[in-house]
Structure 1
Amino acid sequence: MLSKRSSVDVHALHRQEFTISEIARRTGHGRKTIRSYLRGDREPGKRKSTVPDPFDPFTEYVAARLIEDPHLWAVTLLDELRPLGFEGSYQTLTRQIRERSLRPACQACAHVTKRPNAVIEHPPGEETQFDWLELPDAPEHWGYPTKKAFLLVGSLAHSGVWRAALAPSMDLPHLLAAMTAVLGLLGGLTRAWRFDRMRTVLDPATGDLIPMFSAFAKHHGVQVVACRPRSGNRKGVVEKNNHTAGQRWWRTLAEETRATQAQASIEMFADRQDGHRREGESGTTTAREMFAAERLRPLPSRAFPVVVTEQRTASRQALINWRGNRYSVPPELAAATVTIHQRPGADSIDITTAAGAVVARHQLAQPGLGITRRTDQHVTALETIAMASAPPGRPHRRKERFPPGTTALAAARALTGPPAPTATVISLAAYEQAAKNRNTLT
């Protein structure tokens, strides 16, 4: 085996027109060895194996399968190789695929990530980009139905100014409510809104707008632009702001922060980001300075009539948890599923049954305070039902003594029956015989 330094010497001597025999004499290696390294048959620093490689018989099959499916899992390939006689481990298979470069690059996927990107112009007041940011591990006291929160981020494409609104869900009513809040924070409307192909905006079957979202866009007088399928890189402004919000704000948010405090916190954080310096067409500037050039149209005088609905299951005390507080329902609905309705900006919520009948209306408490709101009618009805369903008498204690009573003892006697009488017969014959024997011995 030649080291890399010896290989350099051999190639240098060969370039100087030394013969193979002279190179072998000078370096102390055989002529066949020198000739194989010069032809490139052997690689410097790697000793040629004297035993056949057990993976060689499977190389052709593995290469063919990975050409057919470049994303085929190695563990799936291992399942196919076992019946063919391959006895190596999963680590051996992956090492051989890597060292032999058997997995080709997928051209279809390379088109998405490695294609050249064109520079997209964003005139002032032209476009607002919207996107959801999923926030895992939301505080439990927020009262969200799952352990996730969602942040709708809206970014002005020209200046990069962005604002965000928290939501417990990504469904259509929460999207419209969050968009209303974000548009109010931005202070106006651009000519168009840009989204990816989310189901709450576009019908996946027809590719057309959802009817309610279409009415929402008409109410604001804007156009809706959806990114083309498999052609991303159209929402770079909002995606970068999503990354900033997730890494610099959400990761450091304290556990005891209430939902309202978190909303105020993200608004303050986004406002601070407006002052950061960035590279613009006219040199170094800030998003706040570029925002002055945005020609935003005013918002409609009336908000779009949207109702946010969420389902909850009532407890045995006829209470539901919502946004960190508890609200009462009629006791007949204990352990039943009810629906909460709220209009954005309203100070009350309506609670309905599965059939849609309104059974309760409560004034909203500040989210996250742990307040319980009960009506007098619900309290009276719950006490009445609880007292009526209570068992008569005193409940039994855990260590109370209950010996068998008269009825139990009579039943026991019937099972066992009366004991059979036993007669005792005393015979004096044995004593008489013992007395006779005693007199005889005397």
Structure 2
Amino acid sequence: MIDYETYIKMKNYHEKDGLNCNQVAAIMGLSYKTVNKWLNEQRYRMRKPSQRSSKLDPFKNQILQMLEKYPYSAAQILLRIKEDGFDGGYTIVKDYVRKVRPPKTKAYLMLSFAPGECAQVDWGSYGSVNVGSTCRRLSFFVMVLCYSRLMYVEFTVSQTMEHFLACHQNAFDFFGCVPKKIMVDNLKSAVLRRIVGQAPVFNPKYFDFANHYGFSIAACNVGAGNEKGRVENGVGYVKKNFLAGLDIPDFVAINPAARHWLTTVANVRIHGKTRQKPVERFEKERSFLNPLPANAFDIATVSQVRASSQFRITLDANRYSVPAEYAGARLTLKTYPDRLCIYSQNKLIARHVRSYDRHQDFEDPDHPRQLLVQRKKARDQKIYMRFLTLSPKAEQYYYKLEQRRMNPKHHVQKIVALSEIYDSDAVARALEDAFTFQAFSCEYIANLLEQRSRCLPEPGALHLVRSEDLLDIDIEQPDLSIYERKGHDPKK
């Protein structure tokens, strides 16, 4: 059995925020079966207690009749029913009267506004939406001009200050002008503190924004949402007329659809209160509104961050790169709804498109370049130092390479690589011979080493051990008859 407060929260999540049973159950920590059961109830039903007789039972109808005629107090009712024989106490009467007394209906005056005098703003929420690989809560900003009822709506996945101010800017651009006053509820983006009987303390950023655009801020009284009824009706209208039944596959698609809905439905309908189209009524209001300023206000949220050793800063579970030389440095981050800018001592060092996905890494290809250059220099220096150990002539050989070759480091790298294959003495000898023959290239060293590795041992000297035997040689007389020709006399 849930209590009444839980039931009301459940209904608000479902009816006002547009959450389904599964989402409500997850937020409130209840089972799907429980949530589904209570959302199908038209009203809260208390578990019926076991029927027990009460001393007050014979007088309950009398009490109801008295309350219908006049709002008597429990003490007055107790005196009356005691005269009729009730012998119970005050508490039982007070509890019953509190339970059955008709609720008081508070009356409100309808606020009226002159053309251009005021606009009202508020946030609405409606379930969640897919953004990349994640899911974010969907919010929407509504501004309504109080006289004409012309409406602006913009969807976001955040209600932070930069989004709040950006939505104002976009609304002013949509209207082409600025109202003289804006009424806000007591949300933290606008009002930092509000105590009954005291002037509200406005958010300094919002106050500066208002001064820039030339409007004053009016904060509603605490618990007096009726004071901005126009925009609250607008929030409800967006949910019922635009969002109800709308399939939202991705966040990117929703704002163009909302803009189309504004121009074809919301601002051209016959308004229920004025009985006129907002766009037609706006034509009468336009001349009373303030013009837009020449320059836009910088709406960025500014914060201090420190770059990691991987030259990254983190925002909303995403990582963004900065130039490698700023690894570990303290930097200034300016966050906009669509981008983020990173500064070092007022110098812009990095700029990225803002992502509302989660756990993504974004790197500018230019940012690691300096680190790669440094690493290459260190690697080249290490190879050069190794080259100098190959031979006493190595340093002189390198100077000649610099004079005669366009890329001496390439030749040094190849020669050092050859030292991993061939014996160090062989490489040293090849370097010295190449220097002697003024042959300065890695190809010559490689050919020299290869040829020498394939050479057979040189033959030794011939020694005659038994010379007398070797000199006693019989040579047979050759047969010269093969040279005789037919009919030829060799004596001639």
- TM-score, normalised to structure 2, is 0.47
> Of 50, 55, 72, which residue of structure 1 is paired with 2:52?
55
Alignment of 1:235-254 (within 5 A): 235-254=228-247
- Distance in 1 (CA, whole Å) between partners of 2:353 and 2:215 is 33
Shift of 1:349: 2.6
Contact 2:267 2:278 in 1 (8 A): yes
Pairing 1:131–2:122 present: yes
- Distance in 2 (CA, whole Å) between partners of 1:249 and 1:311 is 40
Contact 1:202 1:209 in 2 (8 A): yes
Contact 1:153 1:238 in 2 (8 A): yes
- Distance in 2 (CA, whole Å) between partners of 1:299 and 1:324 is 36
Aligned to 1:155: 144
How many pairs are equivalent? Answer: 283
Alignment of 1:159-238 (within 5 A): 159-204=148-193, 207-238=200-231
Aligned to 1:30: none
Q: Secondary structure at the match of 2:192?
A: coil
Aligned to 1:265: 257
Aligned amino acid, residue 171 of structure 1: T
Distance 1:382 1:357, change over 3 A: farther
- Distance in 1 (CA, whole Å) between partners of 2:247 and 2:326 is 36
- Distance in 2 (CA, whole Å) between partners of 1:276 and 1:183 is 21
Aligned-pair identity (%): 21
- Distance in 1 (CA, whole Å) between partners of 2:316 and 2:126 is 16
- Distance in 1 (CA, whole Å) between partners of 2:151 and 2:242 is 14
Shift of 1:323: 9.7
Q: Secondary structure at the match of 1:362?
A: strand
Distance 1:366 1:227, change over 3 A: closer
Q: Secondary structure at the match of 1:136?
A: strand
Shift of 1:149: 2.9
Shift of 1:291: 1.1
Contact 2:131 2:250 in 1 (8 A): no
Contact 1:330 1:382 in 2 (8 A): no
Q: Give CA deviations for 1:260-292 in whole Å, capped at 9, x if unaligned.
A: x322222221222111123566xx421111111
Pairing 1:104–2:104 present: no
Contact 1:129 1:193 in 2 (8 A): yes
The Cα RMSD (Å) is: 4.7
- Distance in 2 (CA, whole Å) between partners of 1:222 and 1:215 is 10
Q: Secondary structure at the match of 1:137?
A: strand
Aligned to 2:280: 289
Pairing 1:350–2:341 present: yes
Aligned amino acid, residue 302 of structure 1: N
Shift of 1:203: 2.7
Aligned amino acid, residue 195 of structure 1: V
Larger relative contact order (Cα-Cα within 8 Å, sequence gap ≥ 6): 1
Distance 1:326 1:270, change over 3 A: farther
- Distance in 2 (CA, whole Å) between partners of 1:135 and 1:310 is 29
Aligned to 1:374: 364
- Distance in 1 (CA, whole Å) between partners of 2:270 and 2:318 is 42
- Distance in 2 (CA, whole Å) between partners of 1:383 and 1:252 is 56
Shift of 1:104: 1.9
Higher Rg:
2
Q: Give CA deviations for 1:64-114 in whole Å, capped at 9, x if unaligned.
A: xxxxxxxxxxxxxxxxxxxxxxxxxxxxxxxxx9xx97752688xx55xx3
**Structure 2 residue runs without a partner (length 5+):** 1-49, 61-91, 376-492
Contact 2:162 2:337 in 1 (8 A): no
Query: Between Structure 1 and Structure 2, which shows a larger proportion of helix residues?
Result: 2
Shift of 1:116: 2.2
Aligned to 2:76: none
Q: Give CA deviations for 1:364-394 in whole Å, capped at 9, x if unaligned.
A: 38988x9955223337859999xxxxxxxxx
Contact 2:131 2:356 in 1 (8 A): no
Distance 1:316 1:198, change over 3 A: same
Q: Give CA deviations for 1:380-439 in whole Å, capped at 9, x if unaligned.
A: 859999xxxxxxxxxxxxxxxxxxxxxxxxxxxxxxxxxxxxxxxxxxxxxxxxxxxxxx
- Distance in 2 (CA, whole Å) between partners of 1:254 and 1:292 is 34
Distance 1:357 1:302, change over 3 A: closer
